[in-house]
Amino acid sequence: MDIYGDLNSGNCLKVKWLCDYLARPYRWIAVDTMNGGSRTPAFLAINPVGQVPVVVLDDGRALAQSNAIIRYLGRDSDLVPGDAYEAAKMDEWLFWEQYSHEPYIAVCRYQMVYLGRPVSSLDPDKVTRGHAALDRMERQLAITTYLVGDAPTLADVALLACTRVASEGGFDLTACPAIRRWIVDAERALGVA
C-alpha cells in the first residue's frame, strides 16, 4: 500500500500512526503540499480533490479523507469498539473533529507555522471556535480516560494529531489539564513518539 502524505499535516500523521500501530506495511510517498505537490496532474489523477492524505491499495484503488482511511484500515482492530453504540460515539468524534476542531485549530497552526503569520493576525472567530473545541474535549477527558471510554479508539488517533500541537497555533493547553494528561496516555497507548 502507498500512502501519499506530508508529515507536517496532522491528517496525514493519523494514517501513518495507525499503520505503525497495526504493523501494516506501507510505502510513504512524501508530497510537498507547500510547493504545489498536491496540485500536479499526476497527483490529481490519484485524488481529484488535491488533498493529502490519500492511500493507494495494493489493487490500485485509491481512498481519500483521513478519517475514512483510518476507519477502513482500522476496521477490524481493537481501536474500533465492538459495541455498535460505542463505535457510533467514535464516529461522532471523528465527524466533529473534521467540522469543529480541524478547521480552527489546525488551520490556525498552519497559518502560524507554515505561513509565518503572527498570532495577532488569526481570525478571532477561528480562535473562539478552536477554544470551544478544546473546552469540549477537556470536559470529556475529565470524565473518561479516552474520548469514548477507558480504551483508545480511532477517535483518539484523529484528535491527537491536531491537539498535541495546538500550542503551535496559539492555543495554550495550560488550562486544559485533562487534555494534557490524555495526550501522554494516548501517545503511549498508540506508540506515538
Which chain residues interact with its own copies by CB under 8 A?
A: 48-49, 57, 61, 63-69, 71-72, 75, 84-85, 87-89, 91-92, 94-96, 98-100, 102-103, 136, 139
Please state the closest distance from residue 193 (CB atom) to its own copies, in A: 27
Of 107 and 187, which CB lies nearer to its own copies in the complex structure?
107
Omega before 118 cis (within 30°)? no
Cβ-based neighbour number of residue 60 at 10 Å: 7
Separation of alpha carbons 1 and 62, rounded Å:
10
Residue for grid cell 506501507: 26
Please state the closest distance from residue 189 (CB atom) to its own copies, in A: 23
Of 31 and 94, which CB lies nearer to its own copies in the complex structure?
94
Closest CA to 156 of 109, 103, 86, 107: 86
Please state the closest distance from residue 108 (CB atom) to its own copies, in A: 16
Of 117 and 188, which CB lies nearer to its own copies in the complex structure?
117
Distance of CA 7 to the CA centre of its chain: 12
Helix, strand counts (H, E) of the chain: 8, 4
Please state the closest distance from residue 147 (CB atom) to its own copies, in A: 13
Please state the closest distance from residue 95 (CB atom) to its own copies, in A: 4
Q: Which three cell numbers stand for residue 93?
A: 468524534
SS3 at position 64: strand
Separation of alpha carbons 80 and 43, rounded Å:
31
Of 133 and 183, which CB lies nearer to its own copies in the complex structure?
133
Of 71 and 164, which CB lies nearer to its own copies in the complex structure?
71
